[in-house]
């Protein structure tokens, strides 16, 4: 199998972006975009970019588990946000595979973006129990725990932008882990945060549902979380 990886590169946030193409050949049917990215760093460029004449700069991209578990390799592949380690080259229909960084987050370098705003949001929402919580909501917590904090849902969300009040499903999922079991005192504090950070911002387009690599049933989780946080349908939460 022969693929040309056409990658949008940028040295840092202030630099001009430019395209570079790399040739990758493999006989592994299961090779992914992440496999190719890991291999091409030392290879010759097909179309030398403006930096080829200067000092060589290795391709920068984030990855860790390579098993769809950490969310680090989130990027835009063939115009669709996805995980590089979850995208098989054999499933890319054209010989050329177009690869770009996520666009909703500040660029760091090449395919690396700064997603610390997602973590800061969880801190602002205080996604933890202040005191011992009661039982219930285990099924919701299990579904929510599948969230990788990859940010792909935010990339396709028409309502999310960095710096806005709406945290998107990357905030809703972690909140869902505790929302059904909040102690009374904490509910008074977390409820308004949920309403402002999740409920009021969501336009229910559910673009996130289709893109989530963890296949979280976001619609169901959101319905149950809204019920628990806003209307307090405690009895139905346990039947999630
Ligand atoms: S809800 Fe899905 S797409 Fe969004 S951050 Fe979590 S795992 Fe990623
Ligand atoms: S490297 Fe961990 S999800 Fe792709």
Residue 118 · residue 110 · CB < 8 Å: no
The reply to whether ligand 1 has any atom less than 6 angstroms from the CB of 7 is: no
What's residue 234's pLDDT? 43
**pTM confidence score:** 0.90
Q: At residue 201, what are phi and psi to the nearest 5 degrees? A: -90, -20
What's residue 202's pLDDT? 93
Q: Identify the structural domains of the chain with CATH numbers, from first to last.
A: 2-113 (3.10.20.30), 116-237 (1.10.1060.10)
Residue 218 · residue 209 · CB < 8 Å: yes
Distance from Cα 142 to the centre of ligand 1, integer Å: 14
The reply to whether ligand 1 has any atom less than 6 angstroms from the CB of 168 is: no
The reply to whether ligand 2 has any atom less than 6 angstroms from the CB of 72 is: yes
DSSP conformation letters of 162-174: TTSS---HHHHHH
Could you give the maximum distance between any two Cα atoms of the chain, in Å? 66
Going residue by residue through the chain, which has 240 residues, state the pLDDT in tens, using 9 for 90 and above: 999 999 999 999 999 999 999 999 999 999 999 999 999 876 766 666 555 555 678 899 999 999 999 999 999 999 999 999 999 999 999 999 999 999 999 999 999 999 999 999 999 998 888 888 777 788 888 999 999 999 999 999 999 998 888 999 999 999 998 887 888 788 888 888 888 899 999 999 999 999 999 999 999 999 988 888 877 644 444 444
């Amino acid at each position: 199998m022969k693929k040309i990886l056409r990658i949008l590169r940028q040295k840092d946030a202030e630099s001009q972006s430019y395209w570079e193409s790399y040739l990758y050949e493999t006989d592994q049917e299961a090779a992914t975009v992440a496999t190719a990215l890991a291999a091409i760093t030392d290879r010759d460029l097909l179309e030398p970019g403006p930096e080829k004449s200067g000092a060589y700069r290795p391709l920068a991209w984030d990855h860790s588990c390579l098993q769809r578990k950490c969310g680090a390799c989130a990027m835009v592949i063939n115009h669709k946000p996805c995980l590089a380690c979850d995208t098989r080259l054999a499933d890319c229909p054209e010989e050329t595979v177009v690869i770009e960084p996520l666009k909703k987050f500040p660029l760091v370098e090449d395919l690396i973006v700064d997603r610390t705003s997602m973590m800061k949001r969880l801190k602002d929402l205080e996604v933890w129990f202040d005191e011992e919580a009661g039982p219930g909501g285990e099924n919701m917590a299990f579904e929510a725990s599948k969230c990788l904090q990859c940010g792909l849902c935010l990339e396709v969300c028409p309502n999310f932008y960095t710096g806005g009040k709406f945290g998107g499903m990357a905030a809703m999922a972690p909140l869902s882990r505790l929302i059904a079991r909040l102690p009374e005192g904490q509910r008074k504090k977390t409820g308004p945060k949920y309403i402002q950070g999740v409920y009021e911002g969501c336009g229910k387009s559910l673009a996130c549902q289709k893109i989530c690599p963890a296949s979280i049933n976001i619609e169901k989780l959101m319905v149950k979380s809204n019920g628990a946080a806003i209307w307090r349908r405690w009895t139905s939460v346990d039947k999630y």
